[in-house]
Amino acid sequence: MKAIVQDEYGPPHVLSLGEVPIPTPGAGEVLIRVRAAGVDYGVWHAMTGLPLISRLGFGLRRPRNRVLGMDVAGVVESVGANVTEFHPGDEVYGAATGTYAQFVLARPGKLARKPANLSFTEAAAVPVSGVTALRTVGQVAAGEKVLVIGAGGGVGSFATQLAVAGGAHVTAVCSAAKADLVRSLGAQAVIDYTREPLTGTYDLIIDIAGNRSLTVLRGLLAGRGRLVIVGGEGGSRWFGGLGRPLAARLISPFTRQRLDGLIALTRTADLDALRDLIEAGTVRPAVGRTYSLAEAGTAVSDLASGNAPGKLVITVD
């Protein structure tokens, strides 16, 4: 089968379109014929092996998994002997390792039935970013003031919609190029962080991008407000953006504000909950651009540039 492979860490030119064997599902695995695969920041980390600490998971000297990709939407081709949840022909979406390929193996616990009202391309945009946003916004109450930093990107486009759906008043932080997008997702106010400082007082801050200090973020938070640090690139070569969420958790017990760092894992229960919201018309993935499998390197470059709006998706024939 065709797949995007890499044998070393580095920039997008380490990726190439190659031929690898179609995997065979083990007893607890599902073989999916990939129709589309989302482009998430985790893919950039897997490609570059940065921050260096991530190589404990991805492989110390070179990538343990040659095939890139984490989000998937496709059709079940076959299942292992112990799999009862899915059957050949089922349309599914979820997370797996090596989705930039014509076939991929997945665990049933990271898959769910695809939302009926989405194309495969749209469904592939949902799993990692949508689940992360769901976990972050889960505790929002109607009438609360929410600040979403990085609202025009993959996670932010879901977080904005989910917070609006929860009845919050959402202020989206993004560059001017994404202002129309975030307004179309329901944000009531927009701050162009490239031209003006962040102002206001918020009950919940969802910090997805940039590397603003905890002092700055806490200054924007109400006395009993909550800060959830989801992402933000930069930081040291060894630990990347991990310092801020760690510091948030350490400081939190000593203040009335609740400060947290989030690591979201993609699970069936969250995918089911998202599907219900999507089928009810509450949330819809904002697919900004699509690419062919051979263009995976360009897709990851576009993501890393920060210019691409919403979610990027690779379609697989």
Handedness of CA 108, 114, 119, 124 (dihedral sign): negative
Residue labelled with tokens 């260096």: 52
Asked if residue 115 has a cis previous peptide bond (ω within 30° of 0), the answer is no
CA 254 to chain centre: 31
* Rounded-to-integer distance, Cα 159 and Cα 121, Å: 20
Residue 274: CB minimum distance to ligand NAP, A: 14
CA 195 to chain centre: 27
Residue 263: CB minimum distance to ligand NAP, A: 5
C-beta neighbour count of 201 within 10 angstroms: 12
User: β-strands 202-207, 287-292: how paired?
Assistant: unpaired
Residue 116: CB minimum distance to ligand NAP, A: 25
Q: Which one, 86 or 212, has the nearer CB to ligand NAP?
A: 212
146: left (phi over 0), alpha (psi -120 to 50) or beta: beta
- Which structure tokens are listed for 94? 């979820």
Residue 144: CB minimum distance to ligand NAP, A: 20
Tell me which residues touch ligand NAP (CB under 6 A).
40-41, 128-129, 132, 149-150, 152-156, 173-175, 177-178, 193, 208-210, 230-233, 262-264, 303, 306
Residue 26: CB minimum distance to ligand NAP, A: 26
Q: Which one, 17 or 247, has the nearer CB to ligand NAP?
A: 247
Q: Which one, 4 or 43, has the nearer CB to ligand NAP?
A: 43
- Which structure tokens are listed for 30? 């599902």
* Rounded-to-integer distance, Cα 210 and Cα 225, Å: 20
Please give the residue whose beta carbon sits closest to ligand NAP in the complex: 153
Residue 284: CB minimum distance to ligand NAP, A: 16
DSSP 8-state class, residue 114: P
List of residues 6+ apart from 64 with CB closer than 8 A? 58
Q: Which one, 49 or 153, has the nearer CB to ligand NAP?
A: 153
Quote the Cα angle for 301-148-131, to 5°. 70
Residue 287: CB minimum distance to ligand NAP, A: 12
